[in-house]
Amino acid sequence: MEGGLRAYVLRRLGFAALMLVGVSIILFAIMRVAPGGPEAVLIGGEFSPEAAARIRQRLGLDRPLVLQYTTWATAAARGDLGRSFKTGDPVAALIAERVGPTLQLTGGALLFAVVVAIPLGVLAAVRRGTAWDTLGSAVSLFGVSFPSFWLGVMLILLFSEALPLLPPSGLAEYGREHDLLSRVRHAILPTLTLGLIQMAAVMRFTRSSLLEALRQDYVRTARAKGLADGRVVWRHALRNALIPVVTVIGLSLPTLVGGAVLTETVFAWPGLGRLAVGAVFERDYPVIMGVNLIVAVGVIAANLVTDIAYCLIDPRISYR
Amino acid sequence: MSDSALGRLVHHRRGMLGGVAVALMLASGVLAPVLAPHGYSTQSLRQRLQPPGRAHWLGTDGFGRDVLSRVMWGGRVSLQIGFAATALSLVVGTALGGAAGYFGRAVDTAIMRAADAFLSVPALFLVLVVVALFGASLLNTTLVIALVTWAPAARVVRGECLSLRAREFVHAARALGAGHTRILGRHLLLNALPVIVVQASLMLGQTILIESGLSYLGLGAQPPLPSWGNMVVEGRQFLASAWWIAAFPGLAIFVTVLGFNLFGDGLRDAFDPALRGAA
């Protein structure tokens, strides 16, 4: 079995590497089909054919496409994502500065979503057909229908304007960046915004997965043995029901990270999303490409870990 | 749609509620030139920041423009882009997903791995790359939303075609000499239509959310042309004194997306009653 697991992990690693190559090709291709090509992006505005030719030569754009791609991808693999057109700073350094706040925001939101959604999903499944189930369905349906940026604005309206309890923007008060309390207070609204949207899918799947688990023979056996209802649900059924939920959490990561772009903009949160949006307005192409590549690497890596964890916790899965 | 499916849809309360919400939002957008009490850019500085009242049902914004009229006109932009992007995404997703499911093997692997790669990049980040390179316009917004939403559609259609291609009527068609195009178009995709229709309804909500998010970031419809997203961002600066400017366009997005989701759920239950309440 261990050999099988090792082979599975290796195969999954190979697949993740393939995904990464696919993503890098997509990003590379989008740049190449831009109007006027990369030189137009670099120069901007009107330019003479001679200037374009010089730039093409300098950037190596006169070389075969495959060679261009491998040069770019090799540099990226070494951590060289180029330099910002606007500031001249290495893109990797700009990303390193912003990755912490984004991880804090997305990690906090995911934790909130899981901690709230799983008990709600359990309640909806155990009390199926009651007001709790209706409430659970409503919460999950509303969650997938709310525009996250509007939810953020409405939370600011409620908790920063009407009831001035929490700060509406930023990572911390100016000069108090290392004050934990200030950081926590600033993180509450953005984390809630992103987490509330995210919890819909987790809740929905917890409910349906638990309903399925409650129909299984081992649950009937546990009940027949006289175990208390709570113990049957939480210790027996839920442990098995959570396995597909882990997969759903993994699959929802791109949505979570994508949602961070809007949440960071609403709350002026200095993360990767805001860096990318600012770079779009500056047409700072290396920054946008770099952020995309790093985000894709993060999502692919997280999915890889989820898949492997899924196999480790569920002995029924064969490593084929 | 068979009579029985239509009958089940009519009796699906939540589905019909969603359908009514969608119909109302569509009607207000389509009829905005006739029904809107004011033009979307008609300014009256003496009327600026008026709260909801008899003269302006949803209040006025910082330029004295009528919020109700702008919500109605804004719906036109959001819905137009939503419908166009969904249609485009479905055409691409159906063609590729259908081909992957029908031909299988290398074609399936190539298309589905490409779909996986697209799904690995968070949609909004990919949208940012494209908008940065090609600029923000209604056409580009439509194209880019289709670019980031074709993959889930392809997955759904592929799954349906995979199960349909093993059915007897497909073998019969092949035995009668039908070509690949005919089998795929007339037999597989036509039978997969209910799934595609359900997917369309659910995707419409998602494309409207992406469009409004892009507009919020300033990368969708450009002022003074209103879209629900850019109205929320305009209202953000007056949040302390005039909450209605940001609240109502957001509410319009919410009602519309919720409507499409409810209607999509209703359609799914109507086409396949076995799935009712499954998720």
pLDDT by residue (tens digit) across A102-115?
999 999 999 999 99
* C-beta separation of B36 from B72 below 8 A: yes
- Residue A205: the pLDDT is 87
- Residue A86: the pLDDT is 81
**Closest Cβ opposite residue B239 in set A41, A156, A265:** A156
- Residue B279: the pLDDT is 44
Q: Is the model's pLDDT at A121 over the cut of 60?
A: yes
**Closest Cβ opposite residue A22 in set B113, B126, B134:** B113
The pTM for the full model equals 0.88
Q: Is the model's pLDDT at A88 over the cut of 90?
A: no
Judged by CB atoms closer than 8 Å, whether chains meet at B246 and A141 is answered as: no
Q: Determine the residue type at A146.
A: F
Which of B109, B125, B219, B258 should one mutate to test binding to chain A, selecting the residue with the greatest count of A CBs within 10 A? B125
What is the CB neighbour count within 10 angstroms for residue A298? 20
Structure-token pair, residue B180: 């690949």
For residue B214, the distance in angstroms to the closest alpha carbon of chain A comes to 9
Q: Dihedral sign, CA of B121, A284, B229, A257?
A: positive
pLDDT by 10s per residue, chain B, length 279: 556 778 888 888 989 999 999 999 999 999 999 999 999 999 988 999 999 999 999 999 999 999 999 999 999 999 999 999 999 999 999 999 999 999 988 999 899 888 888 887 788 888 888 887 788 888 989 999 999 899 989 999 998 898 888 888 888 998 998 888 899 888 888 888 888 988 898 899 999 999 999 999 998 888 888 999 999 999 999 999 999 999 999 999 999 999 999 999 898 888 875 555 444
**Closest Cβ opposite residue B125 in set A141, A261, A300:** A261
Burial of A205 (0-12, 13-18, 19+ CB in 10 A): buried
Judged by CB atoms closer than 8 Å, whether chains meet at B278 and A156 is answered as: no
- pLDDT tens digit string along A128-182? 889 988 888 888 888 889 999 999 999 999 999 999 999 999 998 888 878 899 9
Which residue did the predictor score with more confidence, B121 or A225?
A225
Which residues in chain B have their CB less than 8 angstroms from residue A102's CB? none
The phi and psi torsions of B34 (rounded to 5 degrees) equal -95, -45
Least confident of A37-46, A64-73, B204-213: A37-46
Which residue did the predictor score with more confidence, A62 or B64?
B64
Which residues in chain B have their CB less than 8 angstroms from residue A262's CB? 124, 213, 216-217
Which chain B residue has the Cα nearest residue A299?
Answer: B120
Between chain A and chain B, the number of residue pairs with CB atoms below 8 A apart is 153
Compute and round to an integer the Cα radius of gyration of chain B: 22
Judged by CB atoms closer than 8 Å, whether chains meet at A144 and B205 is answered as: yes
Dist CA B248 CA B250 (whole Å): 5
Average pLDDT of the residues of chain A: 86
- Residue A254: the pLDDT is 84
